[in-house]
Amino acid sequence: MVKVITDDSLANLPTVAIAAKIDAMAAQGKGRDLLDYLPEQFYGYHGRSSGEINRIKGYTFAAFLKTGLPDEAIPFVLDELENGLDAYLVAGAARALRGLNHALPAASSYLIKAFYNMLFMDDALSFESFNVKYPLSSYTTPLSEILETMKWLKVEDKHTLDALEKVYAVHQNILSKSAKTLLLETIELSRPHISVENDCCAIPLHAPVHTFIHKRRMRREVQEQVRLEDQDEQALSYNDFFTSGFTVLIFFYTRCDNPNKCSLSVSRFSRLQYLLEEKRLNQIRLAGITYDAGYDVSSRLKSYGDNRGFAFNRQQRFFRVTSGFETLRSYLNLGVNYAGSVVNNHAIELYILDKKGNVKVAQTRLQWNPEEIRDILISLLSKKESVSIRKVLRIAGNTLSGILIAFFPKCPVCWAGYMSLFGAIGLQSIPYTPQLFYVVLMGMLLNLYVNYRTCRKKNIRNAFYINVLGCFLVITGYLWKFQFAIYGGIVALLISSMYINLSGIFQSLFRNKNNQRIWLSQETGRQFRSTELQDLKLK
């Protein structure tokens, strides 16, 4: 996992000083150290312009050709090839792939996308040093770097070869002489290796799926501090919307100047909305949150969604965060950075949250597919139903055991009470020693402590109070030889046991006016670790 450097001093370093650090790491072959410069949250990007960030990141990508490209950097490289529109950054990403120590045929489709992105933006540039002097004596271009990398990969699938031949047939008149030569060389080198069965487009490529560990304290801070305003200027808290079931959440902002990111994400969100309606999955909530709350007022959010086919309703809304954004940003580790209040760098981000606000799936960087997200949601819903059935069976089993424990005699006095109640035998027929009372007393206190822990976790303290009452009545009934107190204690223990074991059912039956559970669920307070549904599949 790529870490995020949190050193404030980096934000104050001149750009050339950061470039010098990159040169030093490249000279020493420290490719893994260069990973720290890739995340959008990198502190060295705070307060800088987008142009400066593109230069630093592009120069970092190019350095991987010397140091070797770690596998952890591949999603960042593919992200720029698929979505990038800056010539320097895309050229650096294409060059970085040649630092791999293994073949990556699946990258061919991303290089084709990058080729089309750069087709009318090809420009002379150099990675020889960070501060180059013009005119350039030797230079490269984004298209040259892309084609050099495709030659290095040795394209092996027919789909990519067909795409290259189409590019040459349609666009040869606008390609530079060097780009045209490289394109023809790539096509000729690829033809002997083509296999119809080896089709890279049959290889599913997914955005990296993160693993999250959510602590109760972090979740509580988000629920308490985050306040929202939707596209209709309705103010609400985080809990009002995000704790009633599964929610698909995307991040965007209306001033984004890259059509491959925010605009496309919202358009695909509209497509996902249609797919969910088609499957009658109306219980799924859809939410979009802007990175730019100061500029994206409610009217802008509504207009942005309307223009991209998103249908707003109570279950499907866009929000701006009016307070607590830094808490939410830290909770989700959002891939965004700022220069003042202006977004200067951000990733594509989609999250699927459960009813507690925990992240079940996080697809970031690479463009996500609405059909795949729909299928993941269907899988999560079916899993939830099966888990609920198992939980009901477990509650039933625990209830039965609770009833048996409550009625089972825990001491001779209780046994006498039972037998007297049913008219079977009397107290004098049971052999008893005084020391047995203290053993039973210790067992009862231990059971009381266990019940206290359980009731505290489930937030059902009334059950614990009833349990204390039952123990008190049994003990006092024994000491003062008052059988009705013993019977009352047994009944109290029975009620307490049923209360504890049936609380899960009560939680699902009784809800407050916001359709939220009155009691905390049984799992509240535990750490939650999401399971990675899919890794980036590389072949």
Residues belonging to the binding site are 256, 262, 346
What distances in angstroms separate CA 74 from CA 94, 170, 176, 427, 495, one per listed residue?
Answer: 11, 31, 29, 78, 59
Rounded Cα distance, 308 and 164, in Å: 32
Rounded Cα distance, 163 and 269, in Å: 28
Beta-bridge partners for 363? 209, 350
Minimal CA–CA distance to 285: which of 308, 309, 314, 328? 314
Cis peptide before 135 (omega within 30 of 0): yes
Rounded Cα distance, 331 and 185, in Å: 49
User: Within the chain, what is the greatest distance between any pair of CA atoms?
Assistant: 111
Q: Which residues touch 207 (CB under 8 Å, ≥6 apart)?
A: 75, 348, 350, 363, 364, 365, 366, 367, 368, 536
Minimal CA–CA distance to 275: which of 385, 377, 383? 377
What distances in angstroms separate CA 463 from CA 203, 343, 495, 498, 501, one per listed residue?
Answer: 55, 52, 8, 9, 10
Rounded Cα distance, 473 and 171, in Å: 91
Beta-bridge partners for 338? 343
Residue set of the binding site for Cu cation: 256, 262, 346
Provide the CA 412 distance to its chain's centre, in angstroms: 56
At 287, the amino acid letter reads A
Provide the CA 475 distance to its chain's centre, in angstroms: 52
Is 321 exposed, middle or buried (CB count within 10 Å of its CB: 0-12, 13-18, 19+)? Answer: buried
Rounded Cα distance, 44 and 15, in Å: 9
> What is the torsion angle, in degrees rounded to the nearest 10, for the CA atoms of residue 457, residue 458, residue 459 and residue 461?
-90
Token reading at 538 = 């590389």
The arrangement of strands across the sheet holding 349-353 comes to 235-237, 227-230, 316-323, 285-290, 247-252, 349-353, 359-364
Minimal CA–CA distance to 186: which of 262, 112, 123? 112
**Ranges of H-type helices in 283-333:** 298-306, 325-332
